[in-house]
Amino acid sequence: MGGLTEAKLRALAGERSFERGLAYVEAVSGVEAGDGWIRASVRGTERYEVELLLGGHRKPRGTCDCPYGQEGNFCKHLVALGLTVVGREADLSRQRTSAMGRARSLEAWLTGLSRDDLIALVREEIAEDRQLRRRLELRAASARGDLAEVRSRIRELLDIGPFAQYGYVEYADARAYAEQARQAVSAIRSLAASDRATDAMVLAREAMGLLAGVVERVDDSDGRLGEVGADLADAHHDACREARPDPEELAHWLVTQALDDASDLFDIDPLDYEDPLGDQGMGTLRKHATEAWKAHRSGWAEKHLMQRLAKAGRDIDTVIAVHAADLAPDGQTHLLIARELDTAGRTAEALEWAERGIRETEDLASVDTALVDHLADRYTRTDRLTDAVTLRRDHFAARHTLLTYRQLRAAAEAADRWPAERENALDLLRADGGRVLVDALLDDRDVDAAWHAAGEHGAHDGQWLTLADQSRPSRPADALTVYLRLACRLTRETGNHAYEQLVSLLLSIRDCHSRLGTPDDFTTYVTDLRASQKRKRNLMRLMDEHGL
């Protein structure tokens, strides 16, 4: 069901919870299956209620009211239910089919009841179920257009008080609160369906304000409150399409909403309101957005809104103006502008902005490397190879790294200028002390020069190992010296990782002795090593496996 497997359960729960869940499979009871969900009880220290949500594009999720599960973890009880699902796939499919059949039978029975019998049934149920009574009372108030009553009930539904301890709704209670909040959205939609779209629009905005005011005090780890916010935004949008509010007032509200700190909760896109706004409202929307941006040019929300509106209207100059008003010192914004202009086919202007980004960066060592790559690529594609080399040379001079060395080499080779550029670059690296110099020479496959640089300037163990590996065929004695030194260090360490490294070195040492014609020396070395390391059983086992 939903492609659930033991491997997925292990990944969701982690090794410890998965292994503990194996012992609880027999404690699973009362399994119920529906469309995309499975519920059951699991007997642990107490009896816990668990639910798995399966299917769709999202990975399986679950809830459990045990202490560990209430913290948002995929607990051992969920593992037990998941394993039950995996083992009873066919049975649960039949159970789900049976549940659907019962639902159809129930619907047929309800449809066959007379009006009086149906009313009597509802009265009986609301007398027993307080929550059902409240939901129906709210729907009734919405249907008759009792705005004051609906507003009062919506405030009650969005009040976190009944769910909060010390002013905060914990994870264990967040789901119940979110379900109650959904009732507020249903009430607003019912109001709109009863030809009260304007009132629905007003209440939707009020509900957004209430929800935004409490969201930071709710543990919404499962994202249910975010879903309520999205539903509330949809209800507002639908109400606006029906109510046709004043376009200028709507435009002002949309801009305010887009710039609000809680905008992510509702994810309202002003461009979705183009229909109820009309030309007049869209003009007002752009006006208010521009005013907000001019008042706070560096604000992320203001810039994002302006860019969205400008791109929608294919106003590339406004997009550039927004970026240009707040240029980053590392050239990142210059690159964004260059890319926008390239997309618009204005390549000459794009090149000017990219070059300006390099010029205006105070320190080329801190420049956005993507800007350097972009400009170098443009130079190469337009056959300005000398300019590409100059750019890469300057960047390498500011940042002495193996990457910038490789990039300079690629540009210089394309321009047929590498020998001269290489010597100048190596001189800069020699002046630094040599660590990057060794890497650069190894990357050039100039092993002899790399050996010399390592001996003169020093190298770290990884570089020495690479040198030894690359030169073992031609310089086995030098390589052997390196391997023996590194192996000596590892003999003082414990752990499988150290043992694996040591065995790898021993194989290389054996190869060196073979090339030097001194296999007996290797035998003596290994015998002494085994004697001194004999208590390391895993090391001895690895050596045996490799014939050492």
Domain ranges of the chain: 6-107, 128-245, 461-548
Structure tokens at 335: 């690159």
Structure tokens at 56: 């769709």
User: What pLDDT does 2 receive?
Assistant: 52
The CA-based angle 264-265-266, given to 5 degrees, is: 90
Residue 27 DSSP one-character state? G
Place of tokens 């040599």: 434
Structure tokens at 231: 């539903």
List, in sequence order, every beta strand (DSSP E) within 82-229: none
Task: Give φ, ψ of 169 to 5 degrees.
Answer: -90, 110
- Say if CB 192 and CB 242 are below 8 A apart: yes
* Distance (Å, whole) CA 393 – CA 358: 13
* Distance (Å, whole) CA 230 – CA 409: 52
Pairing status of strand 28-33 against strand 37-43: antiparallel
Type of residue numbered 459:
A
Structure tokens at 189: 């939609």
* Distance (Å, whole) CA 548 – CA 545: 8
**Cα end-to-end distance, the chain, whole Å:** 51
Question: 3-state secondary structure string, 3-53?
Answer: CCCHHHHHHHHCHHHHHHHHHHHHHEEEEEECCCEEEEEEECCCEEEEEEE
**10-residue block means of pLDDT along the chain (548 residues)?**
77 89 89 82 85 75 83 88 82 70 81 86 79 73 76 88 86 85 87 84 92 90 86 92 91 91 84 90 90 86 84 83 86 92 92 94 89 95 94 94 94 94 92 85 91 88 92 92 94 91 94 94 94 92 92
- Long-range CB pairs of 385-391 (<8 Å, 24+ gap) are 385/411, 385/414, 385/415, 386/415, 388/414, 388/415, 389/415, 389/417, 389/421, 391/358
Strand partners, 311: none
- Say if CB 355 and CB 394 are below 8 A apart: no
Q: How far is CA 4 from CA 43, 61, 76, 101, 398, in A?
A: 22, 11, 16, 24, 53
Q: HSE-up of 291 (CA within 13 Å, CB side)?
A: 10
What is the rounded radius of gyration, in angstroms, for the C-alpha atoms of the chain?
35
Place of tokens 């010029």: 359
The CA-based angle 30-101-119, given to 5 degrees, is: 95
**Helices and strands of the chain, counted as H and E runs:** 29, 4
* Distance (Å, whole) CA 510 – CA 139: 84
Cα 201 versus chain centre, distance: 34
User: What pLDDT does 3 receive?
Assistant: 66
Cβ contacts of residue 366 below 8 Å, gap of 6+? 329, 330
Cβ contacts of residue 407 below 8 Å, gap of 6+? 373, 376, 392, 395, 396
Task: Give φ, ψ of 31 to 5 degrees.
Answer: -70, 130
Pairing status of strand 28-33 against strand 61-64: unpaired
Show the DSSP H helices in 113-146 as ranges.
115-128, 130-143
- Say if CB 2 and CB 12 are below 8 A apart: no
List, in sequence order, every beta strand (DSSP E) within 54-185: 61-64
Question: 3-state secondary structure string, 410-431?
Answer: HHHHHCCCHHHHHHHHHHHHHH
Measuring CA to CA, which residue among 170, 210, 221 is closest to residue 188?
210
